[in-house]
């Protein structure tokens, strides 16, 4: 999708998740784990959980957590696009119609078959 649309969706999704209780979920998860445990649970490697936990603990405001999560997610999306382009030779599809046409071509189907 176009970068501006992707950015808007990242922002909206991040804010919705934070408002729906992501910081509280992160705090609950943190209480389930021994801090001395090594390696740390995979959840702390997932995008946004460290920031959500920091917001739950008052280390910084929820708005700052949202900014950090959006930035990290944007960077991750860019790395994914680079990987697909360089490793798989795949160029990004810019619209839903282009994606549909590519799927039809890949699976050898006509326009009415998907």
pLDDT at 33: 80
Cis bond before residue 111 (omega within 30° of 0): no
Q: 3-class DSSP state for residue 89?
A: coil
CATH topology of domain 3-113: Helix Hairpins (1.10.287)
pTM of the model: 0.73
pLDDT digit of tens for each residue in the chain (114 aa)? 778 888 999 999 999 999 999 999 999 988 888 777 766 667 778 899 999 999 999 999 999 999 999 999 999 988 888 887 787 777 766 677 877 887 888 887 665 655
pLDDT at 44: 76
pLDDT at 38: 65
All structural domains of the chain with their residue ranges: 3-113
- Output the CA angle 55-49-71, nearest 5 degrees: 85
pLDDT at 54: 95
């Amino acid at each position: 999708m176009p970068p501006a649309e992707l950015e808007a969706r990242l922002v909206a999704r991040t804010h919705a998740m934070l408002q729906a209780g992501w910081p509280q979920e992160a705090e609950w998860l943190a209480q389930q784990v021994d801090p001395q445990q090594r390696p740390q649970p995979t959840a702390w490697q997932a995008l946004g959980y460290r920031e959500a936990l920091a917001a739950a603990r008052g280390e910084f405001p929820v708005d700052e957590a949202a900014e950090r999560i959006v930035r990290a997610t944007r960077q991750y999306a860019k790395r994914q696009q680079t990987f697909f382009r360089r490793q798989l030779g795949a160029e990004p599809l810019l619209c839903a119609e282009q994606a549909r046409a590519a799927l039809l071509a890949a699976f050898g189907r006509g326009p009415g078959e998907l």
